[in-house]
Structure 1
Amino acid sequence: MRLQILHETVYGYDQPIRNLVQSLRLTPTVFEGQKTHEWSIDVTGGMRGPGFRDGAGDWIEGWTVRGPVEEIAVRVSGRIDTRDTAGVLRGHREQIHPLAYLRDTKPTRVDDGLRALAGSVTSAADHLDLAHQLSAAVGAAIRYTNGVTESLTTAAEALALGEGVCQDHAHALIAVARERDLPARYVSGYLHSTEDGQSHDAAHAWAEVFVEGLGWVGFDAANHCCPDERYVRLASGLDAQDAAPIRGVAMGMATEKLAVAVRVEEIEQ
């Protein structure tokens, strides 16, 4: 599948800020499931700094904006070919040992509810089957609902609500997988459409679980599937904050407003 992606993030400030420094993970992952043909990142008024590939294999580049400025837009556009690898992250080079992803963080910390959910899977044939069943359990326990959670909602809180969005599903799956001694991590990216063909023009998130002998395998508990050719992978981390496509620090006392627009379209090859 060939996809064209347009992604714009606009930061507005109620008074001018002096400077802004950003770290961007907005370049698609290099692995067998996707091949990038064109990719452009632009920050209005920004100066591109050095870039590097981190231990997880993600490409990170720095940008600086010198003020005073009241609005900054980060624009991403490009074309990428994707193919279904059954969720397996084949051909990806990284240096971090999988066991590092057994460490929990505040959003993924296990409470009694998550511990019970992790323990509810009792008949797994192997680690891959266990990961599939845990993903299904999370998808059944947390109904996809917009607007009921926020960026700081934890996996435990989302499970208690019984509702959430893809970030909450990913955090919950990471939590229960780690509880069962399976390394797991958060993945940020894009999704072209859901399995029923419904448009999903937005940034997306899912989880990857490490299965011995197979490697990292993606699971989208929110959509009850593994990532396929509809998915574009950008970056990974211990949780949503660690894997955030855009991280930055603004210098000033202004209040920030954020607007995000994403368009993912299939185009003819």
Structure 2
Amino acid sequence: MRLTVDHVTCYRYAAPVRGVVQSHRLTPSVFEGQTVLDWKVTVTDGLQGGSFRDGAGDRISAWSVIGPVSEILVQVTGTVDTRDLAGVLRGHRETVRPEVYLRDTLPTRVDTALIDLSEAAEGADGPLEAAHRLSAAVAEAIAYRPGVTEAHTTAAEALGLGEGVCQDHAHALIAIARHRGMPARYVSGYLFADAEGKAHEAAHAWAEIWLPGLGWVGFDPANACCPDERYIRLSSGFDAQDAAPIRGIARGPGAETMAVRVAVCTQGQQQEQQ
């Protein structure tokens, strides 16, 4: 599938700030499931610094903006050819050992309810079936409902509410997988549409679990599936903050607000719109 991305993040400051420094994980991953045809990241009045690929295989780029500045636009545009690999991250080069992702973080720390949920893997016929059972358990326990949780909501809190968004699903799955001794990590990226072909939040997140013999395999409880050709993978981390596509700091007292617009469509749809 050929997918095009138009992703704009707008930062506004109540008072002009002296400058802004950002770290971007906005370049699609390199693996057999996707091929970048063209990709461009621009920052309003931005100066691009160094760029490198980290141990997890993610491309990280530094940007800075010299103030005074009251508004910054970060725009991502590009086209990617994707293939369905049934969620398997085949051909992805990284040097970090999977066992590193057994370490929990605050958003993925288990409580009694999450430990109980992890029992869904009991009696599974191998790690692959166990991972599918855990993903299904999260999908059943946390209904997809935008607006009920916040950026800092933990997996335990989302499970307590019984509602959340893709970030909450990913955190919960990571938490119970790690509790079962299965390395797991958070993945950020884009999604064209849900399993029924309906429009979905284009900026998306899911989890990957390390399975012997297969390596990293993606699971998306929010859509009850493994990532396929509808997905574009950007980056990974221990949790949502660690894998955030944009991280940064502003020098100055002005309060920051952020607005995001993301559109993902097929090349045919783009041609119809032109």
TM-score class, shorter-chain normalisation, is: over 0.9
| Contact 2:120–2:133 under 8 Å retained in 1 | no
8 A contact 2:121–2:131 mirrored in 1: no
Output the TM-score relative to the length of structure 1: 0.99
* Contact 2:193–2:202 (CA under 8 A) maintained in structure 1: no
Matches within 5 A, 1:106-145: 106-145=106-145
Answer yes or no: is the 8 Å Cα contact 1:113–1:156 preserved in 2: yes
Query: Contact (CA 8 Å) 1:3, 1:80: kept in 2 or not?
Result: yes
**How far apart are the structure 1 equivalents of 2:127 and 2:201?**
33
Once residues 136 and 266 of structure 1 are traced to their aligned partners in structure 2, the CA distance between those partners, rounded to angstroms, is 29
1:164 positional shift:
0.2
1:248 maps to 248
Matched AA of 2:204: H
Tell me the alpha carbon deviations over residues 127-177 of structure 1, each in whole angstroms, 9 at most, x when there is no partner: 010000000000000000011100000000000000000000000000000
Count of residue correspondences: 269
Gaps of 5+ in 1: none
| One-letter amino acid of the counterpart of residue 55, structure 2 | G
The separation in 2 between residues aligned to 1:51 and 1:266, in whole angstroms, is 29
Q: Which residue of 1 aligns with 2:157?
A: 157
Output the CA distance in 1 between the equivalents of 2:227 and 2:109: 25
TM superposition shift of 1:123: 1.9
Give the match for residue 41 of structure 1. 41
Q: Which moved more, 1:198-207 or 1:137-146?
A: 198-207
8 A Cα contact 2:166 2:222, kept in partner? yes
Q: Distance in 1 between matches of 2:259 and 2:14?
A: 14
Structure-2 residue corresponding to 1:6: 6
Q: What RMSD over aligned residues (CA atoms) do the two structures have, in Å?
A: 0.9
Asked if residue 99 in structure 1 is aligned to residue 99 in structure 2, the reply is yes
SS in structure 1 opposite 2:177?
helix
- CA deviation string 1:238-259 (max 9, x = no partner): 0000000000010001111110
* Aligned equivalent of 1:64: 64
**TM-score (normalised: structure 2):** 0.97
Given that residues 20 and 250 in structure 2 are in contact (C-alpha distance below 8 angstroms), is that contact kept between their aligned partners in structure 1? Answer: yes
Mapped contact 2:32–2:91 kept (Cα < 8 A) = yes
2:210 paired with 1:197: no
TM superposition shift of 1:201: 4.7
Query: 2 CA distance for matches of 1:192 and 1:24?
Result: 22
Shift of 1:200: 2.0
SS of residue paired to 2:134 = helix
SS at match of 1:26: coil
Q: What SS is found at the alignment partner of 1:19? A: strand
SS in 2 for 1:137: helix
| Contact kept? 1:201, 1:264, Cα under 8 Å | no
Which structure 2 segments of 5+ residues have no match? none
Query: Quick check: which one's helix share is greater?
Result: 2
* 2:221 match: 221
Deviation at 1:116, TM superposition (A): 0.5
Number of the residue aligned with 1:188: 188
Identity %: 62
Contact 1:189 1:233 in 2 (8 A): yes
Which string of whole-angstrom CA distances, capped at 9 and with x for unpartnered residues, describes residues 163-209 of structure 1? 00000000000000001000000000000000111112520000000
SS in 1 for 2:121: coil
Amino acid of the residue matched to residue 263 of structure 2?
A: R
Distance across 1 between alignment mates of 2:120 and 2:58? 34
What is the SS of the residue equivalent to 2:11?
strand
Moved more, 116-125 or 52-61: 116-125
Q: Distance in 1 between matches of 2:201 and 2:36?
A: 19
